[in-house]
Structure 1
């Protein structure tokens, strides 16, 4: 049987076989984006933990030691920038969404980009701190995930796509990022990272057991002494006016202080 692939963007033309890739068809996989500084991956152990967790949750098999060795080599070659990895299940012989349990080999796709990420950062206790940004509260919401997928950085994330699109559509408000709630009205994250907030002098971060991503940088901040003790606490609409300070965490950009939230100036800690 002859199989042909086409694509249409105003005109029909021959295409490759990417339609058979499970990442393309079903979003069957997860990803991680890694900062590189001085030829070293930042928080490599945290990204390793993320890969192991993703493979376990999605029942995939991959040579983790071999992957990490190659990533270290690539990081040394670009010196500073970022590495993005997408891990997806290898093509299956069965039709449809399912997969055979005995054949769950994974493939890792890797993108390396040399760029001056950290030239404007301050480093405090080994944590990169970026320039402050403005943040607004968005109307978009993210989904409630089943326990097996809680905290994973999945490649299937249309709710995050729509939230970031809303942020871009509201650029006239001068915001660099947006605060996003889940379908229960709990504010969970920014469009490109986790959030931490301060109320009555105490630091908190929203739990990610229902929605959102258990970020690598989030884990680093939680185990650091820089902000003292940090608790998980649900963040609701009624809490926003009480927030004294806030920052975003991202595995590449590090810690990004929030200067203003919906136009209200917040305290700065740097």
Structure 2
């Protein structure tokens, strides 16, 4: 039987979460997803730094400092003999009678972590995929990685219905991000991506891509751009944990660039693969 992390212990998976857990009733909690490649978690420290930031923004006390949490998650992955997949970590504000206000200060948070086998999306990275457009109807603190994901779920379902890998969201004419990934466009040799403000989640893969672009000598502009700019781009790609970097060949019925993965996107994919090869 697979093991899970429950608070500070690794236990059997047949655990029952209390019905009055605030994560279940309010989405009052935060989470992270960490990719594992050949048995090694990728950029775990960066994920846990973001977890700490999310907790601070929600005034949520984490049960363990990042260093101890990292150790627990590594033990969890080892216990499940995870070679290729993800580690999921979730922290809720705890179990308490259902009132909207915060529970008493001595209410302990509830931590749950599990692993899942998941293959790399190498074929899609090499061949590309399609996306659809949808209005961004999320709240105004998308920079916090909370459990409140229903708008993302609706956006992703639209993508699934149209045989697309992602739904690229926009507020009015401004492109923000996708349902479960960040969005980059390439125009005249330079990259553009929405700035890391409250309208997007500052993806860990996104941050690494910007770092790799410096190594490759590519200009990256963290600034807003329009839906028209997206459709007129030479290249488009989305990025996220474990799906890594996926070239977008078509958005709705509009072909992007030459309708195949672009050279700049392919060069970034090549550099990213060096991180785990």
Using structure 1 for the length normalisation, give the TM-score: 0.79
Aligned partner of 2:68 among 60, 66, 69: 66
Q: For the residues of structure 1 that align with 2:217 and 2:145, how far apart are their CA atoms?
A: 25
The aligned counterpart of 2:49 is 49
The aligned counterpart of 1:142 is 137
The aligned counterpart of 2:115 is 112
Q: CA deviation at 1:63?
A: 0.4
Q: For the residues of structure 1 that align with 2:234 and 2:104, how far apart are their CA atoms?
A: 50
Q: CA deviation at 1:104?
A: 5.7
Aligned length: 239
Q: For the residues of structure 1 that align with 2:117 and 2:235, how far apart are their CA atoms?
A: 32
The aligned counterpart of 2:88 is 84
Q: For the residues of structure 1 that align with 2:219 and 2:194, how far apart are their CA atoms?
A: 14
Q: For the residues of structure 2 that align with 1:108 and 1:227, how far apart are their CA atoms?
A: 41
Q: For the residues of structure 2 that align with 1:114 and 1:164, how far apart are their CA atoms?
A: 21
Q: Cα gap change, 1:99/1:223 in structure 2, threshold over 3 Å: closer, same or farther?
A: same
The aligned counterpart of 1:264 is 255
Q: For the residues of structure 1 that align with 2:127 and 2:205, how far apart are their CA atoms?
A: 17
Using structure 2 for the length normalisation, give the TM-score: 0.77
Q: For the residues of structure 1 that align with 2:52 and 2:127, how far apart are their CA atoms?
A: 33
The aligned counterpart of 2:207 is 219
Aligned partner of 1:151 among 129, 143, 146: 143
Q: For the residues of structure 2 that align with 1:30 and 1:227, how far apart are their CA atoms?
A: 35
Q: Cα gap change, 1:265/1:58 in structure 2, threshold over 3 Å: closer, same or farther?
A: closer
Aligned CA-pair RMSD: 2.3
Tell me if structure 1 keeps the 8 A contact 2:95–2:109.
no
The 3-state SS of whatever aligns with 2:206 is helix
Aligned partner of 1:235 among 225, 245, 251: 225
Q: Does 1:176 align with 2:165?
A: yes
Aligned partner of 1:245 among 223, 226, 235: 235
Q: CA deviation at 1:28?
A: 0.3
Q: For the residues of structure 1 that align with 2:198 and 2:53, how far apart are their CA atoms?
A: 16
Aligned partner of 1:204 among 192, 196, 219: 192
Q: CA deviation at 1:150?
A: 4.3
Tell me if structure 2 keeps the 8 A contact 1:153–1:213.
yes
1:126-172 CA distances to partner (integer Å, 9 max, x unpaired)? Answer: xxx92343333323423241xxx44122111221111112112223x
Q: For the residues of structure 2 that align with 1:227 and 1:256, how far apart are their CA atoms?
A: 21
More strand per residue: 1 or 2?
A: 1
Q: Cα gap change, 1:132/1:18 in structure 2, threshold over 3 Å: closer, same or farther?
A: farther
Superposition misfits of 4+ residues, deviation over 4 angstroms = none
1:15-73 CA distances to partner (integer Å, 9 max, x unpaired)? Answer: x7743010111110111111101211111121111111111111222203222101122
Runs of 5+ in structure 1 lacking a partner? 1-15, 122-128
Tell me if structure 2 keeps the 8 A contact 1:218–1:249.
yes
